[in-house]
Amino acid sequence: MSTLLLKNADLLVTMDGTRRRIADGGLLVRDNVIEQVGPTAELPASADRIIDARGMAILPGLVNTHHHLYQTLTRCLAQDDGLFGWLRTLYPIWARMNGEAVYVSAKVGLAELLLSGCTTSSDHLYLYPNGSRIDDEIQAAQEIGIRFHATRGSMSLGESQGGLPPDSVVEEERAILADCQRAIETFHQAGRYGMVRVALAPCSPFSVSADLMRESAAMARAYSTPEHGGVGGVRLHTHLAETLDEEQFCLETFGQRPVAYVESLGWTGEDVWHAHCVHMSDAEISLFARTGTGVAHCPSSNMRLASGIAPVVAWRQSGVRVGLGVDGSASNDSSHMLAEARQAMLLQRVGGRVAGGVSRPDAGAMSAQQALELATLGGASVLGRDDIGALAPGMAADFIGYRLERLDFAGALHDPLAALVFCTPVNVDLSVVNGRVRVQEGQIVDIELPPLIQRHNAISWAMIRDEKLP
């Protein structure tokens, strides 16, 4: 058994039950699990590997609850469109992907996330053209060394059947369900500290049938039964209530608002998390709180596509489980978790509070501490994990470090935690995932980025120009 000792951190932010902040702090890791957390003076003096974190702030690794990694290939397109127009522009371009495009784009996106402080990411891959598979992005995640929740997405309702996507990017439902089963049985690690988990994720109410929603839920939940070995932990994910266009589609097509529609299909509960949920009534918020249904909040994407301001403060006050998602790199155009935490904080402040039917700005709507809670503990809860999101004995050894003596934080060292959120978001100097150092001195270990970026750009150019992929 190997040991790793981190010591002398200027500030260690635990996010534990008492939200301890430890000056001159450190932690001891045995294999992939945190064994001890506290002041450096109370920790062992030796270990197999020692990291001197003097001059650094140490935090739990950040958790990304919603993403589309393949979209790194198509940043900055459809710049002035809302969601539906944006999708109609991009669907034909995405249809040109192949397995290598999925793999390379995932590796680029995950590298970007890792450098931004993310140690656990989910991803929603919902179209599989030209022989691509979810295996392609799982391989990328394993090579990067990040903890990964792969959501096997799907689209089955093409334009000819009243859906939004073109028929060329949808799949037949029997094939979808067969591949979902294969992905679960091949990759899903339900146990504590698992590096790969699989969720089932029909894309949205406007791109799949009600039958596929029901059957996906039944399949996921069947894996908790004895006849499937009681594996458990197969969760459910989809986009929901993102825009007013979606709300209108659901009312016209199903005679229900989006939340009521998915509730009727069995898509609420502690094993479900939805992305966006911008447009929710008080009753719908109460339903999510009562059923334990989670939300992936994606503020940058919601701003980019002019979808609206999600009611994060109301969610938290009602007890809804909330995590952060950077969303796709074509609707955010970045994959930076610390920047997303900052954006979440600022957007809730400008979004205001409702008093007497009037929305008023509220400068105290969300604090830096609360923003980081969304990015750590909140994300862990949404993904159904009790082994990440905090630095405490028995938790996975996922943590990150930022050097504080840099230009970006000058004048803010009286409150280093606030500096990380309020000031210019920066990349990590240190990242440890599952007890392995993955970023050291600001560089990803064992990954050569320049040739990866070059290959990624070549594929991107070919897709956008509708040329043969290189």
Q: What is the pLDDT of residues 221-279, one digit of tens each?
A: 999 876 655 568 899 999 999 999 999 999 999 999 999 999 999 999 999 999 999 99
Residue 225's pLDDT is: 73
Average pLDDT score over residue span 351-374: 79
* % the chain with pLDDT above 70: 97
User: Distance between CA atoms of 237 and 153, rounded to whole angstroms?
Assistant: 8
pLDDT score of 226? 66
pLDDT at 332: 92
Report pLDDT for 229.
57
355 has a pLDDT exceeding 60 = no
* Mean pLDDT of the region 287-316: 96
Compute the distance between CA of residue 32 and CA of residue 402 in angstroms, rounded to an integer. 21
Q: In angstroms, rounded to a whole number, what is the distance separating the alpha carbons of residues 289 and 294?
A: 8
- Inter-residue contact 262 to 205 (CB < 8 Å): yes
Residue 353's pLDDT is: 63
- Average pLDDT of the chain, as a whole number: 95
End-to-end CA distance of the chain: 45
- pTM (global) more than 0.75: yes
- Tell me: the pLDDT tens digits for 413-423? 999 999 999 99
Query: Is the CATH number 3.30.450.40 carried by domain 62-382?
Result: no
Contacts of 244 (CB under 8 A, 6+ apart): 279, 308
- Whole-number pLDDT of residue 199: 98
Query: Region 45-58: what's the mean pLDDT?
Result: 97
The neighbouring-strand residues paired with 122 are 149
Give me the count of residues in the chain: 470
Distances (CA, A) of 328 to 106, 235, 453: 11, 20, 18
Output the pLDDT for position 357: 54
CB 99 within 8 A of CB 137: no
**Is pLDDT of 124 > 70?**
yes
Assess whether pLDDT exceeds 70 at residue 84.
yes
More confidently predicted of 279 and 356: 279
Q: How confident is the model at residue 1 (pLDDT cuts 50, 70, 90)?
A: confident
pLDDT of 329: 83
Q: What is the pLDDT of residue 402?
A: 98
With pLDDT > 90 as the criterion, what percentage of the chain qualifies?
A: 90
State yes or no: pLDDT of 184 exceeds 70: yes
- Which residues neighbour 230 within 8 Å (Cβ) at sequence distance 6 or greater? 224
Domain assignments of the chain as residue spans, ordered by start: 3-60+388-444, 62-382
Q: Answer for the pair 77, 461: CB distance below 8 angstroms, yes or no.
A: no
CATH architecture of 3-60+388-444: Roll (2.30)
Instruction: Give me the residue label for tokens 């970026």.
Output: 453
* Predicted local distance difference test score (pLDDT) of residue 111: 98
The alpha carbons of the chain give a radius of gyration, in whole angstroms, of: 21
DSSP code, position 288: H
Q: Taking the CB of residue 133, how many other CB atoms lie within 10 A of it? A: 17
Please provide residue 122's backbone torsions phi and psi, each rounded to the nearest 5 degrees.
Answer: -95, 165
What is the spatial distance between Cα 23 and Cα 12, in angstroms, rounded to a whole number? Answer: 6
Question: Is the Cβ–Cβ distance between 347 and 298 less than 8 Å?
Answer: no
Give yes or no for residue 373 having a pLDDT over 60.
yes
Q: Is the pLDDT of residue 354 over 60?
A: no
